[in-house]
Amino acid sequence: MRVNSAACALVILILCCIAAPVSAQSFGCTPGSSATDPKAVPFLAGLLKTINTPNSSSGVSPWSSAALAKIDPLTVNTGDIKTNCPSQAGTACFANLGLTNCEYVISQFNLSAYTGLSQVTVSALTTGAFNAKDVATHSAWGPDASMITDGVFAPNGTTWNNPSFAVVLPNGGAGTALEIDLGSQYALCVSGSCLPTIQADKNVFQVEYSLDGTNWVLYGQLPAVSNTGLQTRSVVPNSTVAANGQNGVMARYVRIWGCVPTQCSASGDTNFTVSEMVVRDTAGNNLSTGKVAIGPRPSLITDGVVPKDGTTWNNTTYAVVLRDAGPGNALGIDLSSPIALCVIGSCVPSVQADKNFFQVEYSLDGTNWVPYGQLPAVSNTGLQTRSVVPNTTVAAYGDKGVTARYVRIWGCAPSDCTASGDTNFSVSEVVLMNTSGTNVSSGAVTFGPERVATDGEAKPDGADWNDPRYTRILSPCLSNAAQKCVQLGTTPPTTGTLYIDLTATFPISGMVFQGDRHQFQIDYYDSGAGSWQKLWTVPSRESSSGLITRTTNLAGQSARYLAIYGTSGDDSNYSVSTVQVFTQTANTACAYSSGADSGQSFACSYDAPLQTQLTVPAPGLSISFTVDSASTYLRCTNGTTTANTTVASIKPGTTCTATLNVTSSPGGGYCSGSCSSGQFIATNVDMNTPTFTLTNLVCNSSTGNLTQGLTTVSQQAAQAAVQGLFNGLVVNPKLGPLVPNGTCMATP
């Protein structure tokens, strides 16, 4: 297929002035930055020496001192451990209680005077090879509305909310607008054949323009039509705009929103969708295809409108429904400047959301996120108002609060937060206050959730190709479309294009792509040649079904802008779920702790796996503990009556000894960054859970059927204690802290 001159001109318009994504920080490193942290090995050697060197006066090392204070002796309280019923549990229920069925099993262990763990030592600390960085993930905050600028029109009459073509607006009004950033200021056409062309549902829409994305001016209206489904028509400028004639009106941003019947009587309902929007300059050039489009923003969460508690959780008049759990689906608030947020007392954040459990985080730069606290789950259904509970680290700041510009909230799945009863997450209002108790979030700009393809959330292979939690459907190029698809890339497309801005130019060493089974083309933009070039042809997997992951290694082609589109398949069902782009050198958030680099002005950042060695005395560490209580009971029922029956227990006060050995030393994570001065700062050193094996368990009373459970609990308690001791020690403010080991000095 030959690319015509008009298409060539469009390519140049798209890329020469493509807008930055809706994100806070470029991932690019300062030119000349090192590809690795050369100070990591000597720093970790020094850290190891610091924690193991005895104090000159006490003769005790920081590690031993902390161990004796925190984990030796150790108290263990497991709480209730719920497990499934064994095969003979129903028989025991009937024999003991006359009830026919077992619902579940509860075990609990309480140990005290657990001694010996101070003899575990950290004998080696180093790093593995530094990780390649993924610069596609988190490159755009969202919400993603790029379907309206993908260059694909549906056939007129297509169902108004067809997910292959249309972006659905939850309500009418400017708060649910879709916004396009044209990337630069242009003179927009206001008369003749170059007026904006829009395909949307049959209702009335308002179209506005802006120079700064904040102050909006009415351009005109997209008139209602009588035909149902998606319909293509031109915007009608108002008389003030039309009076500008050939000069047009200057704008960088354009937005569109549905006008409800109470304001625009020609709108027959409030079912608003937009499928494509073409905005042109006074010369008739397409300005909008391929540009960043976002919306609808989650503005309801800062609009000050709080419905009655108990309102249906997914009532979109008041609440923003999250597509799934996880930080990639977070809703964010931009406070416009750093503010000291309240962390204690009556001014902590107040949130109205569904009944489930939510995580709340804050950030100075929108890239490095620090945990603030949790919004607890409640038993009542519907939207419920409650206060966020700051974590102990945040609460320790007291009256000073924590400084943040951005705050985000996301649902915690039941697999991670058992208090969440389901994955139906929604938020209707977030109230943030500064340390003086003043509401600083009312009317604030909002963002999120992130674009699906780059949100960092894992999607399972085999999941449905069009699962809205996981996929971005690519609009198919159909022969009966209102307007034909135009080839802009290297290969004739069968779909619209998903554009990704990596925020800076990087040499690409590899990619991961997850999407449906069809073939895709990924092109990069060659700014020198002024055209798209092939990067990777993603092979088809036509014999498979659902989402499928494919990977490739690349030779280091440098690129910033990528275009992804379908090129071959046996049907029109194309979708993209994950795009990862790897490079060795980038200034991304710490992969092991998203908030570790917060507040640092790094020229570049680095991640590497931490390698540790734990040592115990040969032939094994001798431990001892007392069993204060241990028991297992069955929860039995016959459908109307429930009761418990104890089936195993250990005599209170039983004392035990055992031998503990290190089965495998734990991994972990190391993060650091370089300053403009050339200094390297370590920001994160954390140890994963080690693996211990407990043998030679001897107790002065029978442990019976609880022997295996007691062994497992004893092992797990030691593992968690040693991990917690190390991770707590290296960030202990009383010791420095050891990590981070400094701060980049501000440039004079």
Backbone angles phi, psi at 197, to 5 degrees: -110, 130
CB atoms within 10 A of CB 555: 8
Element (H, E) at 68: helix 62-70
257 neighbors 205 (Cβ within 8 angstroms): yes
Residue 73: how many CB atoms within 10 A of its CB?
Answer: 16
Q: Tell me if 590 sits within 8 A of 518, measured CB to CB.
A: no
Task: Say if residue 39's pLDDT is above 50.
Answer: yes
Token reading at 390: 């700051």
> What percent of the chain stands above pLDDT 90?
91
Please report the pLDDT score of residue 746 as a whole number.
61
DSSP 211: S
CATH T-level topology, domain 152-288 = Jelly Rolls (2.60.120)
Given this model, what pLDDT does residue 2 score? 36
Pick the residue with more confidence: 748 or 126?
126
Give the contacts of 137 (CB within 8 A, at least 6 positions apart). 454, 455, 456, 580
Equal CATH topology for 5-19+137-141+455-583 and 152-288: yes
Return the half-sphere exposure (C-beta side, CA atoms, 13 A cut-off) of residue 544: 19
610: left (phi over 0), alpha (psi -120 to 50) or beta: beta
Confidence of residue 383 (pLDDT cuts 50, 70, 90): very high
Alpha-carbon torsion 229, 235, 236, 240, what sign? positive
Q: Which of 426, 576, 573, 571 is nearest to 497 (CA)?
A: 576
pLDDT of residue 737: 81
Given a cut of 90, whether residue 732 has pLDDT beyond it is no
pLDDT (average), residues 661-682: 95
Question: 537: which residues sit within 8 A by CB, 6+ positions away?
Answer: 491, 519, 520, 521, 522, 567
Sequence spans of domains, the chain = 5-19+137-141+455-583, 40-129+606-735, 152-288, 299-447
Over 122-164, what HEC string results?
EEEEEECCCCCEECCCCCCCCCECHHHHCCCCCCCCCCCCCCC
| 25 — pLDDT class (breaks 50, 70, 90) | confident
* Element housing 78 (H / E): none
Position 671 pLDDT exceeds 80: yes
Q: Is residue 528 predicted with pLDDT exceeding 70?
A: yes
Specify the fold of 5-19+137-141+455-583.
Jelly Rolls (2.60.120)
Lowest mean pLDDT among 7-21, 359-373, 577-591, 621-635: 7-21
pLDDT for residue 14: 44
Mean pLDDT of 217-243: 97
Q: pLDDT over 70 for what percent of the chain?
A: 96
Per-residue pLDDT, 22: 56
* Structure confidence at residue 20 (pLDDT): 39
Burial of 264 (0-12, 13-18, 19+ CB in 10 A): middle
Q: Give the phi and the psi of residue 192 in degrees, each rounded to 5.
A: 80, -155
pLDDT in the model for residue 18:
40
| Kind plus residue range of the DSSP H or E element containing 40 | helix 40-52
Q: How confident is the model at residue 733 (pLDDT cuts 50, 70, 90)?
A: confident
Pairing relationship of beta strands 292-294 and 236-237 according to DSSP bridges:
unpaired
Give the mean pLDDT of 479-502.
94
Crossing angle of helices 707-730/62-70, nearest 10°? 130
pLDDT exceeds 90 at position 16: no
Position 45 scores a pLDDT of 96
What mean pLDDT comes out for the span 322-336? 96
What DSSP element (H or E) covers 539? none
Averaged over 631-643, what is the pLDDT? 96
Which pLDDT score, from 0 to 100, does residue 24 have?
56
Q: How far is residue 534 from each of residues 235, 538, 563, 649, measured CA to CA in Å?
A: 37, 11, 10, 68
370, two tokens: 């620090």
Tens digit of pLDDT for each residue in 703-717? Answer: 999 999 999 999 999
**pLDDT at position 19:** 39
Residue 277 has pLDDT above 70, yes or no: yes
> Could you tell me if 604 and 585 are in contact, meaning their C-beta atoms sit under 8 angstroms apart?
yes
The tokens describing 323, both together, are: 């597509």
Summary mean pLDDT of the chain: 94
**Ranges 23-37, 92-106, 175-189, 475-489: which has the least confidence:** 23-37
**Are 201 and 273 in contact, with CB atoms under 8 Å apart?**
yes
289 against 745, higher pLDDT? 289
- pLDDT of amino acid 486: 84
- For residue 718 the two structure tokens come to 């030691």
* Segment (H or E) for 735: none
**299-447: CATH number:** 2.60.120
Residue 361 pLDDT > 90: yes
Confidence bin at 23 (pLDDT 50/70/90): low
pLDDT digits (tens, 9 = 90+) for 399-431: 999 999 999 999 999 988 988 889 999 999 999
Mean pLDDT of the region 279-300:
96
